[in-house]
Amino acid sequence: MEKKFIGAGLLSGLIAGIVAFIFARIFIEPQVAKAIDYEGARSEAEEHLLEAHGGHVHGGEGEVFTRTVQENIGAGVGTIVFALCMGAFFAVAFTVLWTYIGRHYPATDYRWVGAALGVLGFIAFFGVPFFVYPANPPAVGDDDTIGARSGAYLTITVVSVIAMVAAVVLVFWLRPRLGGLFAGVLGAIGFLVVVTITAALLPEFHEVPEPVMDGETILFPGFPGAVIGDFRVYVIANQVILWTVLSTAFAAILGLLTRSKSSAGTAALADVR
Inter-residue contact 208 to 35 (CB < 8 Å): no
Please, which pLDDT band fits residue 58 given cuts at 50, 70 and 90? Answer: low
Q: What is the pLDDT of residues 170-190, one digit of tens each?
A: 999 999 999 889 999 999 999
**240-267: average pLDDT:** 78
- At residue 264 the predicted structure's pLDDT band, cuts being 50, 70 and 90, is very low
CA 202 to chain centre: 19
Across residues 200-205, what is the average pLDDT?
A: 94
Q: Domain extents for the chain? A: 2-140+218-272, 142-207
